Amino acid sequence: MSKPLEGVRVVELANFIAAAAAGRFMADLGADVIKIEAPKGDPLRYTAPSEGRPLNMHENTTWDLENGNKRCASINLKNPAGKEAFFKLLDTADVLITNWRVQALQKMGLDYDSLKGKYPKLVYAICTGYGEYGPDKNLPGFDFTAFFSRGGYLDSLRQKGTVPMNVVPGLGDHNVGMNLVAGILAALYQAKIKGVGEKVETSLFESAIYNMGMMVQASNYEGIAQNYPIDVRKSANPFNAAWRTKDDRFIQTCMPDYNTYYKIFIKAIGREDLVDNENYFPILTCQKKGLTPEVYDIVMEAFSKKTVDEWKKILVEADVPFAVAQNWMEIRNDKQAEANNCFYDMKYSTGNTRRLVRLPVKFQEMGVPDYKPGPMIGEQGPEVLKDLGYSDAQVKEMMENGALFVWKDDQKK
């Protein structure tokens, strides 16, 4: 099975999720992605309590999601021998991915300006919380803060008068990781064709702004965008809403052109008596008369009289765009997701089999990539150094002087 990135070497000097997601995508495509990790381990290894999972190095679903198919070397960059080994590794690399803060990179001589002269063909990829410039460039950034909060999700996408929605880790990070890898692949193509390296940058904040682009731009004008957060009952289009069913589930409908769907939808909900109602159709008449809340209430009342399964049949038959609001357990067993290879059932050494999520981009000729668990801390470190020409004796010496570390089962965080 030929893979598009076979022969490409990526050095990943990063922790947590966003940068790691970019490296994971490249690893799935055949790149040799070598993660550089501290002896205590990436903090992502220890997030199990906040996710309700057991804290177990041998069954770490979050770690595998972001770091499957990679190799790991735990090299101490503060040790002269370790730093020398890192630069020897960088000599062989096509891509460096990092999410370290710029001042930390500068201190270690690993910022772009320090490396570009020595590695003119290197693709240098960095993601940050808020971008590399401006007054807040050095602030710590997570997707809860830089993406969801400052990027407009929490204040805009809440029901007016309520607290912001609950958010979960990884959503913003995965978005940023895929943005970063898109830039990496473009720069890598240039490096291979023209022999010219490039610096690629994105951030949680910048990605959120792009995602919100339509409404950020709409806020140039007086009107709905300037009025968010809104009461969905009073929104401009009452058909773009979530409806509570008799069995306390929600069904989201989306009908961007109210006029196109009005008669179809009103008939589907059993209100044939309103098909020709001149107060509710067309949308401009409804808005002018201030009756969009009334339409919303009519639809909500109708949905409350049938179960989610009953409504699914009705809406499918009417060809109305909708989806049931699913929980994570339902997603994990969704037949549509299974049919499109969204999952991998990992058999762990603990004896448990857990369903893991695959990356969302598929390649026809390459086929579905293997899914190897994420590496233990420094698991392939000796192997990586031997690839660089180090002898067994040199590797042993580096482990003894703390320049290289390999985690063992009897070692703790």
**Hey, which residues are catalytic here?**
173
- The C-alpha atoms of residue 31 and residue 96 are separated, in whole angstroms, by 12
Q: CA triplet 114, 117, 121: central angle to 5 degrees?
A: 115
Backbone φ and ψ of 263, nearest 5°: -65, -35
C-beta of residue 26 within 8 angstroms of C-beta of residue 8: yes
For residue 115, which of 138, 89, 152 has the smallest C-alpha distance? 89
Question: Are 312 and 253 spatial neighbours (Cβ–Cβ below 8 Å)?
Answer: no
3-state SS of the chain is: CCCCCCCCEEEEECCCCHHHHHHHHHHHCCCEEEEECCCCCCHHHHCHHHHCCCCCCCCCHHHHHHHCCCEEEEECCCCHHHHHHHHHHHHCCCEEEECCCHHHHHHCCCCHHHHCCCCCCCEEEEEECCCCCCCCCCCCCCHHHHHHHCCCHHHHCCCCCCCCCCCCCCHHHHHHHHHHHHHHHHHHHHHHHHCCCEEEEEEHHHHHHHHCHHHHHHCCCCCHHHHCCCCHHHCCCCCCCEEECCCCCEEEECCCCHHHHHHHHHHHCCCHHHCCCCCCCCHHHHHHCCCHHHHHHHHHHHHCCCCHHHHHHHHHHHCCCEEECCCHHHHHCCHHHHHCCCEEEEECCCCCEEEEECCCCCCCCCCCCCCCCCCCCCCCHHHHHHHCCCCHHHHHHHHHCCCEECCCCCCCC
- Whether residue 279 contacts residue 265, with contact meaning beta carbons closer than 8 Å, is answered with no
Task: Residue 162: count other Cβ atoms within 10 Å of its Cβ.
Answer: 9
- Measure the CA–CA gap between 271 and 204, rounded to whole angstroms: 45
